[in-house]
Amino acid sequence: MPLVRHDRQRRRPDMYGNILIANDGSDGAAKALAVALKLAHRLKAKLAMISVEEMPRVPAMIDEVVEDRLDEDHRYQQVIAQAQFHARAAQVKLDTHVVAGHAVPCIIDFIERGGFDLLVIGYMGHSALYNRLIGSTTDRLVELAPCHVLVVK
């Protein structure tokens, strides 16, 4: 019988080594970040965060595009600063990324390009009517993500 060596620093193949947290600045995303930080620390995994700038309406003038972009940049600067603060407290290195586009395709593409094996997202409850008519980003990510998805309530 071969000798089996137990090494706490070695990651088992079924563990997550490359985790992505999607953060839109919501309360649900803050809860998901807390869970992702704990997982990354415990598993000694890489942790990245993606925030997607969405411009929901069609602007009439270029000035509106610039104004919307500045508002989004300011919003995500605060989200990133808070996430980095919590990451330092948890002793986890956090790589942050802000991309422009629609949330679901941007996040799916980012997962595929980055080779992530776990996506952590916050749950944002909506009414049953809203979910039937519009759907939810969370539902679509659970359905389409090419990796495991952890939804934090």
* 118-122: strand order across its sheet: 94-100, 46-53, 18-22, 118-122, 148-152
CB 29 within 8 A of CB 57: no
Q: What is the pLDDT of residues 131-152, one digit of tens each?
A: 555 558 888 999 999 999 999 9
Whole-model pTM: value is 0.79
- What integer pLDDT is reported at residue 41 of this predicted model? 96
Domain 18-152 maps to which CATH number in 1.10.3720.10, 3.40.50.720, 3.40.50.300, 3.40.50.620? 3.40.50.620
pLDDT of 15 > 90? The answer is no
Q: What is the DSSP letter of 1?
A: -
Contacts of 88-91 spanning 24+ positions with Cβ under 8 A:
90/37, 90/38, 90/40, 90/41, 91/41
Q: What is the pLDDT of residues 75-131, one digit of tens each?
A: 789 999 999 999 999 999 999 999 988 899 999 999 999 999 999 999 875 555 545
* H-state helical runs in 4-136: 27-43, 62-89, 103-114, 128-133
pLDDT of 73 > 60? The answer is no
Give the residue extent of every domain in the chain: 18-152
Cα–Cα distance measured from residue 55 to residue 49, given in angstroms and rounded to the nearest whole number: 20
- What integer pLDDT is reported at residue 8 of this predicted model? 44
